[in-house]
C-alpha cells in the first residue's frame, strides 16, 4: 500500500506484477467521504518594496522572505481564515531550511509557539515536536505550528492538523497533493482543514489546478477552466477560492508554461508504462489519466517517432513514406475537429470497397450533415489540396482518397499499397479511432448547421478548413476578419487584451450578448467591408459572420480562439478617426446569437 506510487524513480508496480488491487485518487476519496473536507484559499503573496516573490526571491533578496511585513501578513491571513477546532494545529511548508528557522523565530517573537523540523532532526526529536503539536492536555508545552521544508511530504500521519500554510512555489502536482494531504486525515473534533497557499509570480503556478483537479493531461484549457470553476466542481463540502490577483498570476503561468516539455512527456510516459507493465497504447494515455498524448504528437511528430527514439523495447520499423503519413495523421488529420474525413477513411480501410452512401451514413451514425461545400472540402483535405504550399510539399505522400466517376469514394492506390503492412495499418486505425473519440468528446455537439462547437478553441487554419474555404490562408492575410465570397462567410478574430504597443483597437463587450468591434483601417463606412458586414447588397444577404475570441496572444503553445457562435451587425456603422494611426475606421455593434457563457465571459473580460 502506498499513497504516492508515481513519485518513485523505479517501477514500484513491478513488485506486484503490475496488478493493482485498488486505486483511489483525491477527487474520488472526497466524493466517498474518506477524507476530511478542505477549504483552499489561493492568496496573493505580499509585495515588498515593489518586489513580487518569484522563483529567485530567496537568491535575490532573502531578507524579503523573512521580513517583518511578510510575517505579519501571513499571521494576519492565518487568523482571518481560521481553523476547525479549539486551537490551531498547523503545518507550514517553506522553500528552504534557513527561511523556516527565521520565520519560526519571528512567529515565536509574536507570541505564537512554533518549532522547525528538517531532515537534520533525529526520530526522537521529530516525535517529541509532533506530540507537542497534537497534545491537548499539557497547555504550557503545546505548539501552534511546525515549520518544515519537505520531511512531511509523505509517510507522516498527523490527523490533528487543521491548518496547512504553503509559503513555497509548487514543485509538482504530486508534491502539492502530498503536502495538502497532511491535513486531510479525519480526526475527532476536526470538521475541515484550512489550506492557505501564498501565491507569488512562480513559474510552476500552473501546477496548482493540475494538483487540485487531478487532471494530469496538462491541457491548458482544462487548467484555466478549473481556476474559473474549481469551487463548483470540487466534490463534497470542500471549497476552492482564489483572489483576483492570484488568478491572474496562475493564468500568466499557464500561458507561459511549456507543457510539451520533453522531460515532462518522458516522465509521464515512464509512469504510465510502470503502471501498465507494457508499452502504452495511444488510448491508454486518456484511459489512465496520463498526459494528453497529442502533446507527444506535437513535439515528436508521432507516437511512433517518440517510441523509436526513447523506448528500447520498441522494435517496429516503418518506411520513410509510412512515417510521413503517420506524422500527417498524428499532427494534422486527427486534429481536423471534424468527423467527416476520419470516418470516411476508417470505413474505406475496414471494408476495402467503394462507398456510395457516405452522406446518409454520417447522418445516421453521427447526426451531422454534408452539403456540396463540405464534401468538396473533405476531398481537398484528403487529397492534400487545402494546405499552404510548403505543407503540401512536406506531405506530398498524403493523397489518401479519390472520388470515382459514379460518385463513390475509394482509397488511393499508393495509400492502399502502404496499408498492406499490418503494423502501419494498425497504427493508422489506432489514430483514426483516437481522433473519432476526441471528436465525440469535444466537438460532437455542433453549433446549428456548422462544424464548430460553442466554446471550443480553433486556430486560423481550423476556421479556414471548417468554413470550407479552398485554401489555408496566412494569418496576416486574414487580419481581424476576412470575407470569403465562395462560401459567403466572414469570421471575426479578436485578441481581447492587446499588447501595450498595439494599435488601440477598442474591441469591447458591453454585455454577454453585445460586442462593439472595430473594422480594419483605413476603412470608411462606404467600404466593401461595411457592405459585407451589414449585408447591404443583394448578394450579401446570406452572408454569415462568426465570432472567434482569445484573451491575448500570451500563450506560448496554442494560437487558438474560442468559438462564440454567429453574430449579427445591428444599426449602422459609426465612422471614427484613429488618432494613433491617423486614419479612419468604423465601429460595429454586434449582437451575439448566443450570449457568452458566464465563466468564459468572465475569463475573457477580466484584466
Supply the range of the domain harboring residue 562: 457-605
SS3 41: strand
Interatomic CA distance for residues 76 and 74, integer angstroms: 5
- Overall residue count recorded for the chain in this entry: 607
Residue 230 lies in a domain: yes
**211 and 172 in one domain?**
yes
Distance separating alpha carbons of residues 267 and 6, to the nearest angstrom:
10
* Residue 19 domain-assigned (yes or no): no
C-alpha 559/C-alpha 590 separation (Å) is 24
Q: Which residue, of 221, 256, 291, is where some domain finishes?
A: 256
Going by pLDDT thresholds of 50, 70 and 90, the confidence category of residue 461 is very high
Domain check: are 541 and 490 in the same one? yes
What are the b/e assignments for 389-423, b being 16+ CB within 10 Å? eebeeebebbebbebeeeeebbbeeebeebbeeee
pLDDT tens readout for residues 465-510: 999 999 999 988 888 899 999 999 999 999 998 665 555 558 999 9
Are both 492 and 476 inside the same structural domain? Answer: yes
Q: What is the pLDDT of residues 190-205, one digit of tens each?
A: 999 999 999 998 899 9
Which of 410, 442, 474 is where one domain is finished?
442
- Domain membership flag for residue 595: yes
Q: Among 104-108, 233-237, 526-530, where is mean pLDDT lowest? A: 233-237
Residues 424/429/434/439 CA torsion (nearest 10 deg): 130
Please check whether residues 52 and 149 belong to one and the same domain. yes
Mean pLDDT of 435-454: 96
Residue 389 lies in a domain: yes
Question: Is residue 353, in this structure, part of any structural domain at all?
Answer: yes
Alpha helices in 386-519 (DSSP H): 389-394, 413-418, 422-442, 460-466, 475-478
Q: Does 380 lie in the same domain as 462?
A: no
Are residues 513 and 423 part of one domain? Answer: no
Q: Within this chain, do residues 221 and 280 fall inside the same structural domain, yes or no?
A: no
What's the pLDDT at 237? 85
DSSP assignment of 343-393 equals: HHHHHHHHH-S-BS-HHHHHHHHH-----HHHHHHHHHHHTT-SS-HHHHH
Which CATH number is 502's domain given? Answer: 2.30.280
**379 and 518 part of one domain:** no
Q: What percent of the chain has pLDDT over 70?
A: 92
What is the Cα 531 distance to its own chain's centre? 39
| Cα–Cα distance, 464 to 255 (Å, whole number) | 25
Per residue in 283-307, pLDDT (tens digit) is: 999 999 899 999 999 999 999 999 9
49: DSSP letter: T
112 and 210, same domain (yes or no): yes
| Of the residues 204, 236, 256, the one at which a domain ends | 256
Q: Hey, which of 31-45, 143-157, 543-557, 563-577 has the most confident mean pLDDT?
A: 563-577
In this predicted structure, which of 13-17, 38-42, 114-118, 140-144 has the lowest mean pLDDT?
13-17
Do 327 and 287 lie in one domain? The reply is yes
* Contact status, residue 453 vs residue 563, Cβ threshold 8 Å: yes
Q: Specify the number of domains making up the chain.
A: 3
Q: Which CATH number belongs to the domain containing residue 161 in this structure?
A: 3.40.50.300
Whether 75 and 217 map to the same domain: the answer is: yes
Q: Domain for residue 194, yes or no?
A: yes
Any idea which of 310-324, 404-418, 548-562, 568-582 has the lowest mean pLDDT? 548-562
Domain assignment of residue 450, yes or no: no
Query: What is the pTM assigned to this prediction?
Result: 0.85
The reply to whether 268 falls in a domain is yes
SS3 string of 102-153? HHHHHHHHCCCCEEEECCCCCHHHHHHHHHHHHCCCCHHHCCCEEEECCCCC
Rounded average pLDDT over 206-224? 88
Look at residue 8 in the predicted model and tell me its pLDDT: 47
C-alpha grid cell, residue 34: 474518506
Cell readout for 551 is 484573451
Residues 244 and 269 in one domain: no
Amino acid at each position: 500500500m502506498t499513497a504516492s506510487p508515481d513519485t518513485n524513480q523505479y517501477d514500484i508496480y513491478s513488485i506486484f506484477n503490475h496488478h493493482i488491487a485498488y486505486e483511489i485518487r483525491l477527487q474520488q476519496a472526497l466524493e466517498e467521504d474518506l477524507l476530511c473536507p478542505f477549504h483552499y484559499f489561493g492568496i496573493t503573496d505580499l509585495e515588498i518594496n515593489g518586489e513580487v516573490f518569484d522563483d529567485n526571491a530567496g537568491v535575490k533578496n532573502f531578507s524579503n522572505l523573512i521580513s517583518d511585513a511578510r510575517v505579519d501578513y501571513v499571521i494576519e491571513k492565518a487568523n482571518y481564515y481560521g481553523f476547525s477546532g479549539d486551537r490551531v494545529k498547523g503545518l507550514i511548508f517553506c522553500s528552504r531550511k534557513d527561511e523556516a528557522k527565521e520565520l519560526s523565530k519571528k512567529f515565536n517573537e509574536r507570541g505564537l509557539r512554533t518549532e522547525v523540523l528538517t531532515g537534520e532532526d533525529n526520530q526522537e526529536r521529530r516525535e517529541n515536536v509532533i506530540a507537542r503539536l497534537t497534545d491537548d492536555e499539557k497547555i504550557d508545552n503545546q505548539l501552534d505550528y511546525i515549520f518544515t521544508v519537505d520531511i512531511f511530504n509523505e509517510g507522516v500521519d498527523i490527523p490533528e492538523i487543521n491548518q496547512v500554510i504553503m509559503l513555497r512555489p509548487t514543485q509538482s502536482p504530486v508534491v502539492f497533493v502530498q503536502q495538502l494531504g497532511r491535513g486531510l486525515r479525519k480526526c475527532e473534533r476536526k470538521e475541515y482543514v484550512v489550506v492557505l497557499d501564498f501565491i507569488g509570480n512562480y513559474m510552476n503556478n500552473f501546477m496548482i489546478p493540475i494538483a487540485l483537479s487531478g487532471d494530469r493531461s496538462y491541457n491548458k484549457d482544462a487548467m484555466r477552466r478549473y481556476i474559473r470553476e474549481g469551487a463548483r466542481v470540487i466534490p463534497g463540502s470542500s471549497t476552492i477560492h482564489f483572489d483576483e490577483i492570484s488568478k491572474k498570476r496562475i493564468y500568466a503561468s499557464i500561458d507561459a508554461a511549456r507543457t510539451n516539455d520533453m522531460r515532462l512527456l518522458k516522465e509521464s510516459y515512464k509512469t504510465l508504462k510502470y503502471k501498465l507493465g507494457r508499452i502504452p497504447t495511444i488510448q491508454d494515455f486518456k484511459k489512465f489519466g496520463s498526459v494528453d498524448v497529442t502533446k507527444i504528437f506535437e513535439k515528436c511528430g508521432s507516437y511512433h517517432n517518440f517510441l523509436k527514439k526513447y523506448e528500447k523495447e520498441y522494435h517496429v520499423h516503418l518506411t520513410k513514406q509510412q512515417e510521413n503519413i503517420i506524422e500527417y495523421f498524428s499532427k494534422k488529420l486527427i486534429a481536423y475537429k471534424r468527423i467527416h474525413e476520419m470516418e470516411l477513411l476508417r470505413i474505406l480501410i475496414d471494408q476495402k470497397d467503394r462507398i456510395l452512401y457516405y452522406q446518409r451514413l454520417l447522418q445516421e451514425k453521427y447526426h451531422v450533415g454534408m452539403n456540396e461545400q463540405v464534401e468538396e472540402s473533405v476531398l481537398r483535405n484528403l487529397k492534400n489540396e487545402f494546405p499552404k504550399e510548403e505543407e503540401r510539399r512536406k506531405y506530398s505522400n498524403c493523397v489518401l482518397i479519390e472520388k470515382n466517376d459514379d460518385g463513390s469514394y475509394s482509397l488511393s492506390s499508393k495509400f492502399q499499397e502502404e496499408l498492406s503492412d499490418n503494423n502501419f495499418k494498425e497504427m493508422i486505425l489506432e489514430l483514426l479511432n483516437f481522433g473519432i473519440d476526441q471528436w465525440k468528446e469535444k466537438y460532437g455537439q455542433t453549433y446549428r448547421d456548422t462544424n464548430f462547437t460553442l466554446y471550443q478553441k480553433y486556430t486560423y487554419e481550423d476556421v479556414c478548413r471548417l468554413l470550407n474555404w479552398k485554401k489555408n490562408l496566412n494569418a496576416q492575410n486574414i487580419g481581424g476578419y476576412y470575407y470569403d465570397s465562395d462560401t459567403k462567410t466572414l469570421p471575426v478574430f479578436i485578441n481581447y487584451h492587446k499588447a501595450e504597443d498595439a494599435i488601440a483597437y477598442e474591441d469591447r463587450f458591453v454585455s454577454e450578448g453585445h460586442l462593439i468591434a472595430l473594422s480594419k483601417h483605413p476603412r470608411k463606412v462606404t467600404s466593401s467591408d461595411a457592405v459585407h458586414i451589414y449585408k447591404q447588397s443583394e448578394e450579401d444577404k446570406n452572408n454569415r459572420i462568426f465570432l472567434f475570441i482569445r484573451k491575448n496572444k500570451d500563450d506560448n503553445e496554442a494560437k487558438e480562439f474560442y468559438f462564440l457562435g454567429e453574430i449579427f451587425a445591428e444599426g449602422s456603422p459609426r465612422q471614427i478617426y484613429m488618432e494613433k494611426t491617423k486614419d479612419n475606421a468604423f465601429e460595429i455593434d454586434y449582437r451575439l446569437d448566443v450570449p457568452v457563457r458566464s465563466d468564459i465571459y468572465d475569463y475573457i473580460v477580466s484584466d
